[in-house]
A and B are shown apart, each in its own frame.
Chain A
Amino acid sequence: MARRHVMEFERPLFALEDKVVALKRMDVSADPELAAEIEALSAQIEVLRDQTYRDLGPWDRVQIARHPSRPKTEHYIAALFDDVLELHGDRSYGDDEAMFAGLGTFQGRRVVILGHRKGTDTKSNIRRNFGSPHPEGFRKAMRIMQMADKFGLPIVSFLDTAGAFPGIEAEERGQAWAIAESLATLSAVGVPVVAVGIGEGGSGGALAIGFGDRLIMLENSYYSVISPEACASILYRDSAQASSAAACLKMTASDLLGMGIIDEIVPEPVGGAHHDPAAMFVAVGTSVGRALLELSGIHREELVATRYERLRAVGAYAP
């Protein structure tokens, strides 16, 4: 069995659970008081579990969003789409595995699928660069956006990246150019665009495929202009202050719904999506299905105009 991943805020709960597991291994018949203690501790666990997972702070949610067992783009694709056909390459430099692009059938409807793709183990994470695309990843996504526009296929995108990759080659090949062109392209496609934040929404690299006619976020996903660690190292000269920075940045789904940046929050199973992936897939499928239904039948000019108005409305100014 893989080593269990314990998040900071879960430590007291897991410690108590471990204690009960250890007690249960002992001979209960030899000690009549033991059974009573196990029962008492088990009740305590239920209370503590409830406390641990209720009212999660921003930093707790960031940890859930990054949890290694959290369902990833490929899991949502497998669960929600039929006849999936992955398409490769940017037709110029290479194929970036950190970005998924392809075709699929969602509830009987033909769509284009885009998504940041993290790995599920060390090997796949190295191939996929931990979900941080290079310019060719964004250019592949852009190419497939144009295909969606040409063939009138709605776009469903899944956001899960710490950000665009910060490297020498990424700069040499125009990381900023690729992101900007992707933004411009996505703003103008004449098909419905539904973006779903499933985990990490790391700045420009997330935004490149991360806005549209509906922006949906999972309860414990985040979307931020800067990572809490980088923000903390600027603000406090200490990346260990990431927890405070996460709070300052107002990056949780509920913050962003409150500010009118996103349209909808999909509630997660208690403790996070990884506690019950199947239930999570159903909930996401329901939300995406509803969004696509609402957007179907709208003329392409109207879709683009409305999307532009949505973007134009984002901002806060002094009175």
Chain B
Amino acid sequence: MPISDWFSAREARRYTRVSEGASAPASDVPDGVWIKCETCHKTIYEGDLVANMRVCPSCGHHFDVPAPQRIEMIADEGSFLETDGHLAPADPLSFVAAKSYAESLEGGRAKSGLNEGVVTGTAAIDGIPVVLGVMDFRFIGASMGSVVGEKIARAFELATERRLPVVMITASGGARMQEGMFSLMQMAKTSAAVQRHLARGLPYVSVLSNPTYGGVTASFPVLADVILAEPGASIGFTGPRIIEQTIRQKLPKGFQTSEFMLEHGLIDEVVPRGELRSRLALLLNYLTPRVSDGGAS
């Protein structure tokens, strides 16, 4: 069974179920799919990879995580309720090049079983109610068009209104070229929504996963109170190829990785996927406003 079918099968169950240890039930595991790890080049059985939170059992390489599975890993079982899932992209520029935007959108839907590159909703993490947003790279690289921007802005507004913390898990190639300036303006829109949320003393934690680039990095993800990243994720503003072309020199090893960002003081911590849920719970426990602290309420 191809992976996309596997996810549409899960999709049908609204991906709110979580099995023990976030591993998928045996019946969901596709038969006979083998994947090669790009870091250690070992071949991994798809089922083993899924059971290990899509982290290579041999070398710890963190594979991309589809949004539905990520939600299972992070949210308390059955707690996730999707918001704005109906919101679907339009083609405001009637963008047609070698491949039309309409075709790309169709491809994104087929690959991911989703309407867009981000899934948002309310959830609980270790019993703490949050608004959760998870990007899905399979949908045109989770680039930020109008709908991605709108869903993120609405997620922050919902959290602001309900005085809830926000957790955003990012993976994106950046802006969505096919929506032109509509896409670029989402950077300002989402940043403004974050700003309003933070100004009311409400917490926001982001998790940068592989890859997070361009106009997405330069907006809502890096405005968080606490910025976490998964090991070995590529994170940056400009992609490495463009930088190399511009400066005409080779980039240093490890450039634009999570560890590089930590070293340069740009993120708070690199957290392996297996510890992410408990780390988020701990952080939210510290940051969620309480009257009893005697601090500002």
Q: Which chain A residues have a beta carbon within 8 Å of chain B's beta carbons?
A: 164, 166-168, 170-177, 179-181, 183-188, 203-204, 207, 211, 223-226, 230-231, 234-236, 244-245, 248-251, 256, 259, 261, 307-308, 311-312, 314-319
Contact = CB atoms under 8 A, between A and B. Distances in A.
B93 A248 contact: yes
B50 to A, nearest CB: 31
Nearest to A251: B180
Interface string B258-270: 0010001010000
Tell me if A's interface is mostly helix, strand, loop or mixed: helix
A171 B217 CA distance: 11
Contacts of A166: 237-238, 242-243, 246-247
Contacts of A317: 87-90, 146-147, 150
14 contacts: A166-B242, A168-B255, A171-B238, A175-B218, A177-B222, A185-B195, A204-B218, A211-B185, A225-B175, A248-B95, A261-B185, A316-B89, A317-B88, A319-B90
Interface in B169-215: 175-177, 179-189, 191-192, 194-196, 199, 214-215
Given A168-B243, A224-B184, A317-B89, A204 B189 contact: no
Contacts of B97: 235-236, 244-245, 248
Contact of B189 (A181, A225, A312): A312
Nearest to A231: B177
Contacts of A315: 146-147, 149-150, 182, 185-186, 189
Contacts of A204: 175, 184, 187, 214-215, 218, 237
B282 interface: no
B96 interface: yes
Nearest to B96: A248
B118 interface: no
Contact-residue size bin, chain B (C-beta under 8 Å from the other chain)? 35 or more
A168 B278 CA distance: 34
A174 B177 CA distance: 23
Contact of A225 (B183, B194, B222, B242): B183
B92 interface: yes
A187 B264 contact: no
A226 B88 contact: no
Among B88, B99, B185, chain A packs the most CB atoms within 10 A around the CB of B185
B142 to A, nearest CB: 16
Contacts, number: 183
Contact of A314 (B186, B199, B256): B186
Nearest to A166: B238
A261 B182 contact: yes
B220 interface: yes
Given A223-B181, A259-B181, A188 B199 contact: yes
A217 B40 CA distance: 52
B180 A176 contact: no
Given A235-B97, A245-B97, A314-B146, 20 more contacts: A171-B256, A172-B264, A174-B264, A175-B236, A177-B222, A179-B187, A180-B222, A183-B188, A183-B191, A207-B187, A224-B180, A224-B181, A225-B215, A236-B98, A308-B192, A308-B196, A311-B185, A312-B153, A316-B179, A318-B88
Contacts of B93: 248-250
B251 interface: yes
B219 interface: yes
B32 to A, nearest CB: 35
A164 B95 contact: no
Given A164-B237, A259-B182, A316-B179, A176 B192 contact: no
Contacts of B87: 317-318
A234 B237 CA distance: 17
Contacts of B110: none
A40 B43 CA distance: 78
